[in-house]
Structure 1
């Protein structure tokens, strides 16, 4: 005869059954709640009744659910999967090579493939032509057959006074890339961009020179030469360059410019938007540019109005010289020219590289037909 179960044994079995029922209910809730609306959560605290084993089951299920959700998210179509754009560099600008894999790490432009392999001409979405290097190749370019949707890009950073007119190529190009703000793909010589956490706070460099100028292209017909000849009668200018027999190499450039309170940022020719590294480099190095170029209003479209001195603001070179001497004696007035450094930093462009990457970016965003009708008339008149 089997012994009868004691009341205490029945009670233990009931407790175990109850715990298993609660765990089963919790697991069922975890599995099916996302698709079942009849069980809602409340803000009331729930009793801690699950065993350690039960909680492990729930935790494992939760982790698996999160992993599955993440896996679905990473393969969602249309996210960070841009079609690859191929940009062919027909000539290295002035023979200067740059990193073909720079668009994503430097400019954050994804889906770009730059190449200088002309064997990929038929696969290229765009071909970048540096017009200063085309030379005698124009007849062969005019006779070339190209894919119907391929874009040919006229790329140039010299002013009209130092650029060739390509006669017969009036309708050869689809896009332009230039310092001009009305070009299709605008690439200025420099930009002021907001400070980032990686940028060091600005500190004024030590100054032991008042006015400096580094010039290689000396032409008596240039406006800047005539202005300098008169200006230097009234103030000492530390002049460098081949003309003055004081060549400055790349390593010494920053040291020289930063040691000057003012730098003569005189352009070799005066055209709309032609505002070059002669302005942005001194600003980056902690020196005030004294500009000679397009009107002040044009400069103020790119840099703060109180960050530079324009020669047109003075009646004569002598008046400008006297003003600089006054600023030399008033440190507070001088330092006001650097108020912008609290918020911005000056960055120069990378010649050729930036153009190619932004050409790619443009093609990703613009798929329409385009032709530059008479590029010579646009640029030279």
Structure 2
């Protein structure tokens, strides 16, 4: 590495007693240049709890012996662009806080097992980001619009249920479900998907307002009793602002997303799970019942009372995480994961040195390999009905089922290339063709 590495400014991390010069530090390379949590410049020294590292986004050092780890951003990771050959002295780290739909490669064993360290929304990952959309317990305790005001809103002709979605063709196929639900209960839909009502002002109609916590926008949607909160993909622990924002505002989320969502709820009665109901019609009946019975409805907001958050697992998880959400006093999770990788790599380097010194008496460190459950999202299923009943040429089926299974092939192809020490990326499609032929023969 050049002079920039030697002169890299020190990142004000938690600090440590590492006295090594920059020239002696392990290098971590952020492979996705667009995601480099340091500004300005391309290289920084980071001082983490167990030791220091240099971090860079300069691919010039990709093959350097001191470059110990490559950090990939899941959304940008493409099997056909992976750096080959994979070097035996380097680990691969995955940062993927976004939707599983962004890269289904990571939901298959061959895809996730390419990585040694993971930071994903799954609690089982090495550096879990599960509560990335929840700033803290206080966010849930925000006051709700009084029931009398919500009822007055209803009398003005507004629906009991809000749907606000502009990303329509997604793996969870949420619009198919909502369309069916709309047959049985009034739903005000303001986004591009299933749009049936206009927001009251041009300012609110501006998409950027609708995606931020703008106070005018928030107070408008807070008047609704129920928010349809359907994630764009189904996976354990994948929970976004679609869930937490209505709770913050004191609306009741009607939720589909993480099948394990109850583990994280403030108490046993704070959300309505779509999948608890046999049909959209049954769900509509229940929402109508709550709409007409204020006392029953308010039970869903009791977690906002003093001492109302009963879930110790939730409180402890918030307490334990070392990164913050919109909190300048804590590191963000990008820098946190970077330090996690740095610390692990410093340990690995030390163990390798001890192994060498002992001439094999001390065993070499065992490589860590990510497990299926670090992501492991299921095959997409229709939002309503069975896949067999979908029309031939249904766009959802053609897009998402194909994407899911092609991603498996891509993971297998890249794994095979690595095992064969392949160095030419362009051969990826030959490997894909080989897998395709093998599958065809099996069928």
**SS of equivalent to 2:253:** strand
How much does 1:185 deviate?
1.6
**Which of the residues 135, 138, 145 maps onto 2:81?**
138
**SS of equivalent to 1:379:** coil
Cα deviation 1:45-69 (Å, max 9, x = unaligned) = xxxxxxxxxxxxxxxxxxxxxxxxx
**SS of equivalent to 1:228:** helix
Give unmatched runs, 5+ long, in structure 2: 1-13, 19-24, 41-47, 199-204, 310-314, 349-365, 379-443
RMSD: 4.3
**SS of equivalent to 2:376:** helix
- Say which one has the larger Rg: 1
- Contact 1:187–1:355 (CA<8 Å) still a contact in 2? no
Structure 1 residue aligned with 2:262: 300
Mean Cα displacement is larger for which, 185-194 or 109-118?
Answer: 109-118
**SS of equivalent to 2:264:** coil
Aligned length: 287
**Which of the residues 237, 242, 260 maps onto 2:224?**
260
Structure 2 CA distance for partners of 1:283 and 1:137, relative to 1, 3 Å = same
How much does 1:190 deviate?
3.6
In structure 2, distance between residues paired with 1:260 and 1:99:
41
**Which of the residues 233, 237, 248 maps onto 2:187?**
237
For CA contacts below 8 A with separation 6 or more, give which structure has more relative contact order.
2
How much does 1:263 deviate?
0.8
Normalising by structure 2, what TM-score? 0.52
**SS of equivalent to 1:333:** helix
Structure 2 residue aligned with 1:361: 340
How much does 1:320 deviate?
1.8
In structure 2, distance between residues paired with 1:375 and 1:175:
12
In structure 2, distance between residues paired with 1:323 and 1:329:
10
**SS of equivalent to 2:225:** strand
- Contact 1:211–1:260 (CA<8 Å) still a contact in 2? yes
**SS of equivalent to 2:144:** coil
Cα deviation 1:74-116 (Å, max 9, x = unaligned) = xxxxx96354986543215xx5676659xxxxxxx76787653
Q: How does 1:200-279 map onto structure 2 within 5 Å?
A: 202-205=142-145, 207=150, 208=153, 209=158, 210-219=160-169, 222-244=172-194, 249-253=207-211, 254=213, 255=217, 256-279=220-243
Normalising by structure 1, what TM-score? 0.59
Mean Cα displacement is larger for which, 273-282 or 215-224?
Answer: 215-224
- Contact 1:179–1:186 (CA<8 Å) still a contact in 2? yes
How much does 1:221 deviate?
7.7
**Which of the residues 376, 384, 391 maps onto 1:379?**
376
How much does 1:372 deviate?
2.1
In structure 2, distance between residues paired with 1:339 and 1:377:
33
Q: How does 1:16-165 map onto structure 2 within 5 Å?
A: 81=16, 83=18, 87-91=28-32, 95=34, 115-118=56-59, 126-135=69-78, 138-139=81-82, 141-143=83-85, 145=87, 148=89, 150-165=90-105
In structure 1, distance between residues paired with 2:261 and 2:112:
30
Determine whether 1:180 maps to 2:122.
yes
Give unmatched runs, 5+ long, in structure 1: 1-78, 102-108
